[in-house]
Structure 1
Amino acid sequence: MLSSSSESLPKNCCYILTIIVSLCAADFRTKNEEDVFNAKMVYLARQVAQDYMSDRLRCIVVVSDEGLLEDFTGYNDTTVLRVLFNGSRDECDPTMHKYILQAFYHKCTRYIVQISKPTCFFPAWFLARNGSTYEKHNPRVLFLPVKPHATVYGEEVLAMNQTNISHDILIAETSPQTPIGAIAMPKEIDPNRPVTLYTNNFWQYVGEPGRIGRIYLDEWSWELGFKNGVDLYPDKVRDLRGKVLRLSAFPYLPYGNNEPMDGSEARILLEFCVVYNCTVVDVDDGHLWGEIYPENGTGVGEAGTIYMELSDFGVGANYLWLEFWPYLEFSNCYLYGALTVMVPRPELLSGLLTPFLPFPLSLWLVIVMCVVVSAVGLHWVTEATIKFAPHFLDEIYKNHKFITYTDSMIRSIGMLVLQQPQRLVTGSPVRHLFTAFEFTYLVITSAYAAELYDFLTIPRTTKPINSVFDLAESNLIWMTDHEVWVFGILHAEDPSIRKAASNFRALPTPELIKLGESNHPYGLGIERMAGGHYTELPYITDKFIEKSRVMRDNYYVSPLVVNMQKGSPYANRLNDIIGRMENGGLYYAWEADCVRKYLNYTKQLDMQWSTRPIKYPPKVLNVADLEGAFLLYFIGTALAVGLFFLEIYFKKGLKLKNSFLNPTPKWFDEYLLGQSGSHD
C-alpha cells in the first residue's frame, strides 16, 4: 500500500503542475489581450479627441479606472485633467464629483470616460454642475469599454434622465455577434471591426413610450479605422425633428401666456421652434416665477420646474436675479424691463395750510429762534442799560417797553409782522439793536409775502412720489404678488432704497385688489416695458387707476433673459435667435402686437397719461383758500378774550391785588406808585 502511494505521488504533482502552467499561460494571454485592447482604446480616444474635441479651450477631462488611458496625452497643446475612478462594478465613487468640479473651474467641456461602472459619470457630473456657482457648460462625452468582451452598457447609460442634458454623447461598445436594438442599426456587423459606435437619441426624452436610446453611427477597428466615416457628433439641435420642448410660462401679459401660447417673449421660443423644427408645450404649476430649494433639490414655479428639469425654458420678464443665477442658465440679454410703482395721486392742499406753506419747516424753526433771540436780547439790553446807563432810567420807565420777557416776546412777534413800537428811547442801545432786528424781520416778511402770493395764485398739491427716494420718504406701503419684485434692490447699500424695500409686501391677488381699492393709500408694483407699454396685472383695476399714477422713475431696471437649465444644450442656438430678433427689431413689433391683442388699450393710455404732470389754471381766490388765515384770526381772538376774562377772574374773583398775568415787575410798579405819590 505504501509502495503504491509512493508511485502515484509523482503523477499527481505533474498533473497539478500542468494545471498551474495552463492557468499562468491563460492569465498571460488575457493580460496581453487586455493590454492590446487598452492600447487600441487609447488610439481611438486620441483619434476622436483630435477630430471632435479640438475646441479653442484645448482641455479634455479623462475619467478612468486605474491603469486605463494612462498613455492618453491628447494632441498639440491640449490640457488633460485626470480623474481616477475609485468605485467598482457595483458601487460609484462618492468623491468623483469633487474632482469633476475642477473641470468647471478650468472651463473643460470635453470628457473621455472609461470606468467599470459608466452609469456613475452623469450623476457625478450633475453634482459638480450644481456645485459650480458661475461656470456652466454642456458636456461632449466619449464612453469607452473597459474590456475587450465587455457587456453592452450603452443602453443602460442612455436610459438615465441626466443624459437629456447633452446631445453630444458617444458610446463605444464591443461589437455584438448579432445586431441589437438601435436606431439605424445595420442588419450585419462587420466582424473585422470589433467596436461599434452609438450616439444618444436626443430627439426624445428619456422615459417616453417607445423610445430607443441608442442611434447607430459607425464601426471601428485599429487596423481598418472607421467603416462609414460619418460625423460622430452630429448637431442634433439644428434639426430637432419635431421634439417637444417644455416652456414654463404663466399668464403675465404681454410677456407670455399659456392659453393660448403667445406673448412677446413666448414668441422667441415659438420662433426658435420654427427655425429648428420643434414644438412647444406649456408647463405651469401656478407659482409664477417660483422659488428654488437647493437643500433638497426641489422648487416651484418657473425657476423651480427648470431647476428640477421638468421644463427646458422659462419666460415672464426674467431679470438678472442673483437669487437664481447659481441654479439656472441665462440666455443672452435683450432690451430691458423696468419696475416701477403706481402710487397715490398728489392731492390739492387744504386752505388751512396756506399760511404755513411759503416756508419749509426748517425755515419756520429758524424764524421762531429769531423771535426768541430778539425778545431775550432786547430785554437783556434794556436791563443792562438801566444798570450801566442810569441816565436813561427815567425815559425807559416812561417808555415802558422791553421791561419784561413777556413784553419783549409780544413786541418781537409784532415786529415779525411789521408792527413796530411807536416810540423808543432816543440814543439808547436798545434802539440800535431794535433797528438791526427790524431789518431782519423786514426781509423775512417780504420773502413770506412773495411766496404767499405765489401759493395764492398757483394751486399746490402734496409732494408727488416720483422716485424710489420719494417712495422711501413717504413711507408708503407698496405691494405685489411675488417677492421677485424686490430681488433687485434687496442688496442695495443706499439707506433710502433699503427703506423702500422694507416697505414692500407680497400678498395674494384678491387681497391686493381689496387693499388697492380701499380708501387707504397704497402703492402697487407695475412693470414698464421697453416699448413704453405696461404689464396688465389682475390687481391693477380701473378703480385703482382712477386714484393713482405711475411713478415717473423706475426703481429697478434690468436686461431681460430666458431662463434655461444649467448647461442647456439649446443655449447657443437660442442666443442666435435672440440676436437675429434684436437686429430685425422684432421684439418691439411683438410687444405692440400682443398689447393690442390681449390688453385693454384704454387702460394702457390711462397709465401712460398718468405720468404727465398735472397743469392747473391760475386760482380764483375763494373762502376756502383763506381758511388758515381766518383760523389764525379766530384762534388769536379767542385767546385774547379768554385771557381777558381770566385776568378779571384773578383780579376780582380771587380778590388778588396783582395777578400772575401782570406783565410788569414789582420794582416797576413801585416806581410807578412813587411817581403818583409825588404828584399828589
Structure 2
Amino acid sequence: MLWLKYEAISGNHTNIDNLVQMGIDNGCQAFIVTPNSVIDFMDGFENVRFTSKNRYHSMHVVALPTTIDKTNQYINDILNCGTVQDIPNILIISHSTGQYNVNNNKIKFGDSSYDLITSQFVGQYNTSEPRLLDTFDIASGTLIENANLFPDKFSNLQGRLLRIALFNYKPYTIWMEVTPGTGNMDALDSEQEKTIFIDGTESRLIMAFCKLYNCTLAVLIDEESEWGVLSDNMTGNGVLGAIVERRADVGIAGLFLWFHEFLFLDYSSIISRSGVTCICPKPKLLGRWLLPLRPFTPTMWAADFISFVSLFLTIFLIKLTKSYANSMCENDIISVWLHVWAIYLEQSTNFSTRHLPVIIISIISLLTSLLLANTYGAGLSSIMTIPLYEAPIDTPQQLAEKNWAWGATRDVWIYSISNATEPELKKLVSMFQASTFEKLSARRTSGDFCYSVERLQFGHYAVGDYIDEKALNYLQLMNTDIYYENIVRFACFACDRKRNPKILGIADSGQSNKPEDTFGHFHIKTTR
C-alpha cells in the first residue's frame, strides 16, 4: 500500500498531479480518497492518466464519507465529474439517507449505517446517476444484501450510447446518408433516426461489439478534417480531435500506433497489419536515338575505350623500340591506328609485321574483340526486340534517389517515421507533401509525383478516391513498403478494455480477411 498525503487548499492543485502520477507509476490500481480531496484527485487523474508510465483500465476508487449535511452534494459532485466515465469501478461511501432502494426494497436505516453507491454507467440516459449497491450496518457489521461492490458493468451496457468518429476511408469505414429509418446508424445530435448507413472492416467490428454488449451507436462524421490533428493543449479536429475533446468515444478509420497521439488517447488491441507504400508514375520509354549505346553500360564503354587506347600504344611502342625510331613517320602511326580499329570492328587489315610480340598482342586483341562484338550484337538484338524503359521505382531508396515528391491529403502518413534516423526515411519525410483532393487529382498524369497507399493484410490496397482505375494506366505500384504499422482504434471510453479480447479473437480466426475481400478498394498487380 502506498500512502499519499495531500492537504487540499482552495485554489492550490500543484501537488495532486504529481502524487497521483507517483501512485500510478508505482503500480497502484486502487485509491482510497478523502472527501476534501476527491474532486482534486479526479482532476489529477485526468491530467496524468496518459503521461504515466503505466496505464490501467481497471482502476478502482473508493471515496470516504463526508458529513451528513453534505452527503447529497458530495455524491452529485463526484458523479458529475467527467472522469467518472473513465473509472466505472468507483465506490462512494456515504451516510445513509434513506432515499435509495436496495433491490427495489425501501429500507430505512439509522445514522449507524452507510450507503455504498456507484455510478449508473449503463443505460442510454443518466449514466452519471447514483446507483445504490448495498448498505453497511455498523451495529451488525454486515452488508444488508451482501452485494458485489464492484459489479461488472460491461456485460450488459443496457443501450449505453457509444459515439463513433469516422470518415469515408475504404475499406475500413464506409458511410452514406440514406432516407430516415432505412439506415443502420443514427447521426449524432440528429433528431431523425437511422439516417446513416455504415459498413467496412472496422465498422463491422464495432457493430458486432455493440450487438454483443448491448450498446447503442451514433456516428460523428468529419470528412473535411479526416484523421485530424492533435495539439498539446488537448484540442484538435477530425477523428482524433473528436476523441480528445470527448465529442466521441471511439475513433476508427485505419488508425496507426502513433506515439504523439498515444500521449493523449488510449489504444485498443491490434486489429491488423498495414504497410505504407507508393504508387508512382510508370517508367518512360527511353529515346531510340541512344539505342546503339544501350547494349553496354557506361562502365563497359569506358573499359572498351581504355583497352583500345592501350592496344594502340602497346603496338606503337613495340614498333618504336625495334630500331624503327629513325624511320617512323606519320604513315606508320596511322597504319597502327587503322590496324587497331580493324581488329575491334572485325575487319580485314593489310598491316604486316614480323615482330612476334605484335603478332601475339594482335591475336589476343582479335579474340577479345570477337567476344565483345558478339556480346554487343546480342544486347542490341534484345533491345530492338523488347522496348527499353527507365528504371522503375520499387524501393524507398529508389524513391529517395529519384527525388520525386510523394503525398496524400494529410500528414498522418508520415507520423510513424517522423522521428526516423535512417537517411532515406528522413529524406522521404522531407519530400512528403500534404495537399487537397483537387490538387492530388490533377497530378495523376504529371509524371513526377507518387501517391501513398496502404497495403492491407490480405493483399488488397486502401487507395484515396483521388486515384481512380483510369489513373492506374499511368501509375505503377512499388514492390516494397516504405514502412509498416499496426492498425488500432483510439478511445477514451473505458469499455475499450472489454473489446480487446474480442478483437484478438477475430484477428486470430482470420475473419478479417472476408470483409477485406468485400471492401478492398483495389487489388493492384505489381507485374510490369
Structure 1 length-normalised TM: 0.68
Aligned match of 2:527:
612
Question: In the superposition, relative to structure 1, how do residues 212 and 427 fare at CA in structure 2: closer, same or farther (>3 Å)?
Answer: closer
Unaligned runs of 5+ in 2: 177-196
- State how 1:418-457 maps to structure 2 within 5 Å: 418-419=346-347, 422-427=350-355, 437-457=365-385
Aligned partner of 2:297 among 343, 356, 360: 360
How large is the RMSD of aligned CA atoms in angstroms?
3.0
Aligned match of 2:186:
none
Aligned match of 2:485:
558
Deviations 1:385-429 (A, max 9, x none): 64x543x236643851269xxx85x77566543457531543286
**Partners of 1:326 and 1:507 in 2: how far apart?**
27
Distance apart, 1:112 and its partner CA: 1.1
Aligned partner of 1:166 among 44, 68, 87: 87
Cα contact 1:240–1:278 (8 A) shared by 2: yes
Deviates more, 1:502-511 or 1:145-154: 145-154
Aligned match of 1:113:
33
Answering whether residue 177 of structure 2 is matched by residue 246 of structure 1, we say no
Aligned match of 1:528:
455
Answering whether residue 436 of structure 2 is matched by residue 508 of structure 1, we say yes
Unaligned runs of 5+ in 1: 1-79, 614-680
Aligned match of 1:125:
45
Aligned partner of 1:573 among 498, 507, 511: 498
Aligned partner of 1:335 among 250, 272, 276: 272
Residue-pair matches, total: 505
Aligned match of 2:21:
101
Q: Residue type matched to 1:231 in 2?
A: N
Distance apart, 1:543 and its partner CA: 3.3
Cα contact 1:97–1:124 (8 A) shared by 2: yes
Q: Residue type matched to 1:455 in 2?
A: I
Distance apart, 1:251 and its partner CA: 0.5
Deviations 1:190-244 (A, max 9, x none): 1164211110121369xx7x66621111111333221111111111111111011
Q: Residue type matched to 1:289 in 2?
A: W
Distance apart, 1:273 and its partner CA: 0.4
Question: In the superposition, relative to structure 1, how do residues 147 and 372 fare at CA in structure 2: closer, same or farther (>3 Å)?
Answer: farther
Question: In the superposition, relative to structure 1, how do residues 425 and 359 fare at CA in structure 2: closer, same or farther (>3 Å)?
Answer: same
Distance apart, 1:120 and its partner CA: 0.8
Deviations 1:330-351 (A, max 9, x none): 2111332222222222344342
SS at match of 1:323: helix
**Partners of 2:61 and 2:370 in 1: how far apart?**
88
**Partners of 2:350 and 2:263 in 1: how far apart?**
81
Aligned match of 1:216:
132
Distance apart, 1:115 and its partner CA: 4.2
Question: In the superposition, relative to structure 1, how do residues 104 and 355 fare at CA in structure 2: closer, same or farther (>3 Å)?
Answer: farther
Question: In the superposition, relative to structure 1, how do residues 398 and 266 fare at CA in structure 2: closer, same or farther (>3 Å)?
Answer: closer
Aligned match of 1:662:
none
**Partners of 1:421 and 1:497 in 2: how far apart?**
58
Deviations 1:47-82 (A, max 9, x none): xxxxxxxxxxxxxxxxxxxxxxxxxxxxxxxxx111
Distance apart, 1:313 and its partner CA: 1.2
Q: Which has the higher strand share?
A: 2
- State how 1:252-291 maps to structure 2 within 5 Å: 252-259=169-176, 260-285=197-222, 286-291=224-229
Q: Which has the higher contact order (CA 8 A, sep 6+)?
A: 2
Answering whether residue 62 of structure 2 is matched by residue 142 of structure 1, we say yes
Cα contact 1:268–1:577 (8 A) shared by 2: no
Aligned match of 1:486:
414
**Partners of 2:438 and 2:277 in 1: how far apart?**
21
Answering whether residue 109 of structure 2 is matched by residue 190 of structure 1, we say yes
SS at match of 2:274: strand
Distance apart, 1:487 and its partner CA: 2.7
Deviations 1:294-337 (A, max 9, x none): 2x121222222222222211111122223322222221113322
Distance apart, 1:462 and its partner CA: 2.4
Structure 2 length-normalised TM: 0.86
**Partners of 1:498 and 1:430 in 2: how far apart?**
58
Q: Residue type matched to 2:397 in 1?
A: F
Q: Residue type matched to 1:109 in 2?
A: Q
Aligned partner of 1:346 among 278, 283, 296: 283
**Partners of 2:421 and 2:49 in 1: how far apart?**
31
Deviations 1:427-454 (A, max 9, x none): 2866655555555444433322222222
Aligned partner of 2:329 among 390, 397, 400: 397
SS at match of 2:85: helix
Q: Residue type matched to 2:31 in 1?
A: Y
Aligned partner of 2:230 among 281, 286, 292: 292
Distance apart, 1:274 and its partner CA: 0.2
